[in-house]
Structure 1
């Protein structure tokens, strides 16, 4: 059953749905590649494909055969060229689903053992960020949400101490041997310090943002953790969540965003923020 006829084509509900889904997919790919070098490669490949369609319509058999071989090999080349973008896209899809984040699904479907909920208070973290910002001391703090961060914990020095403002300030002191790298917090404890995080290769980031901000963005692209970056040069606060980096945040904005993200329904509670 079709809705209307367009020339010699019969257009039905499934055709409209198909067009809408393709449009959404192309738009998401555009947002993913926008502003990067990969976007120009993608546009170049589309132009070659359009040339192939024109040549095929004109009946130029030899050139059509050559372009067919180029396009078939080009599909594999695109996977290699866009491996970072494809990885980011798959991570975005994976983190947007609630199957892994649901505790019952993790227990029965993924066969993960039940663990009692524990509370990570946010007040010591926020207070430490306030002091680090005022003293222009750099800091990089990772707060675990649902994803396992053991792989990144193993890159640093194990601490396994109770979370406190004083300990965070001691770690990020310029005289501390642990001040380089990131602190990872899980279940109300400082698990490790001087940890190495994955660095984002996003070309859209302003050149003024340094290594800490790229590491914060890279970590939240690979996991669902919340990452706080305190600039050593300006003292400004930044928060990386779900592959997005928010910069120049005030302390109340940092508090509210952390509280909203880490205390969403269905997640283990991480404590309310006290001014």
Structure 2
């Protein structure tokens, strides 16, 4: 009769540890269960190594989680910084230096022009005031007036018509316009050419008005200078205290103050 094949497991299960230790396969095996001691010691060492490696993996996982959270926070902060701080078209320090230098040059040029004009004008009568003088002529619709707050010393004001200026007065008016616009926000100083033209038309409209006092409808010249643009220009002038707004009489009036 053929003996059935037996696996080691079946051999162990059918025999005993004592019989296995005394078998011919392990002639030098210790007595009883003593042969398990070196095996269990090695097993314990390998278990401790496994535990150390698992703890290392856990520490690595915690470190990666901390890094991911910190890195994500840094990316978020950089994104918010780009959205709120990074403005390529914003003026830098050189822009303010150039604007200040340009304003000083314009002021010097305007002062020189006024000094040259003062030398050419003959002294008026001692009874009249140089700051505010009005002479009425035969034409009831026209007066000659001088006012120090305007760009020109002498101008002719005609109702419904823009005063005619000489070439010299036009040049002085342009210099004064440039000096005043230098005090206004950036959008009026050239970033929007249409808005700059609207501001110049608004300022000239106030200069040409009697007593340099106007109402908002007096400045509207459609289609270029509509009510919204004229109102925006007046708000900018009032904020810079170049124009004074008055509503005590029930009607909103704008009085020219000039640049101090």
What TM-score results when the alignment is normalised by the length of structure 2?
Answer: 0.29
Work out which of the two has the higher radius of gyration on C-alpha atoms and give 1 or 2: 2
Higher relative contact order (CA 8 A, sep 6+): 1
Structure holding more helix per residue: 2
What TM-score results when the alignment is normalised by the length of structure 1?
Answer: 0.27
